[in-house]
Amino acid sequence: MSQTSVRVAVEPSGVRDWLRQAVLDAGAEIVPPEKAEALVWTAAGPDEGRDGPAQLRRLLDQHQHLSWVQLPWAGVEEYAAAGVLDHDRRWTCGKGVYADPVAEHALALALAGLRELARFARARSWGDQAGISLMGGATTIFGGGGIARSLIALLQPFGCHITVVRRGDAPIEGADRVLPYEQRYEALRGADVVFLALALTPETEQLIGEVELELMEPHAWLVNVGRGAQVVTADLVTALRGDVIGGAALDVTDPEPLPDGHPLWDLPNCLVTPHTANTEDMAKPLLGGRITENVRRYAAGEPLLGMVDPDAGY
């Protein structure tokens, strides 16, 4: 298959049209779906006022010849839940593309929490000294993908003891130990920071609730850059009110967006950012580069990056 022969549809029209240039940069031709071999899907999901999974399913039902679909973001749970993912074609997503900026944000949230920056920022008078240093501390990361690996690299200068909890116990470079989900309780004890940086699946939904929060250290911070539904929000509010843990720093919440007046907004030991660990401006060069590379690989018959397992849902 020659590079110039690749015909790619970029749909839906008018959504992230800047991705069209990424396809052209790979030497491919942009054509309507009925003439295409592959599809670059540009609608991230229902947060954009459209039912992206249903829209994609209709398009694929009409054009079953499409052999490869590229999805825009790393999270594909909406598509998995809607039954769009199948074994009839190859699926790729933005898995790993946004790892560095998300890991950077996770570390920033952790440091802000341990150093009590949220409380100090809200203060209107001089107060007592407070804060915990991460140097030589202990961290636990739920997830063994790109974000976790980038975060491990960022944590190296702090000399932390790093535990990773993931499916299976295969070693990860830089991690002191890797535990399967079955041993997750062991990973919570003794950690100064617990990071959530994993895909949302039935196995990881409501991963952190009352029991898990009780097992965490009284000074520990929970940092979530994964998905909001991985935390039982009501249990987290109760734990924060009772100082069961040191605090929570959340870039994702359940519900999301977090409604005005929600209790999490007013808790002094909670720091919330509006799902901004990876912004659209950050995403443009990263996602554009991934799509250009994947179109090139598709043309050359090489393995694609960011493969999605329809059975696993990520």
| Partners of 11 in the β-ladder | 41
- Give me the amino acid identity at 243: D
- What Rg value do the Cα atoms of the chain yield, rounded? 21
CA distance 179 to 281: 35
CB 151 within 8 A of CB 195: yes
Say if residues 269 and 240 touch (Cβ distance below 8 Å).
yes
Residue whose token pair is 């060069």: 285
Contact between 42 and 10 under an 8 Å Cβ cutoff? The reply is: yes
User: Among all residues, which ones are annotated catalytic?
Assistant: 227, 256, 275
Inter-residue contact 205 to 230 (CB < 8 Å) = yes
Q: Can you tell me the distance from the alpha carbon of 44 to that of 306, in angstroms, rounded to the nearest whole number?
A: 16
Hey, what are 12's tokens?
């839906």
Cis before 171? omega within 30 = no
CB 71 within 8 A of CB 50: no
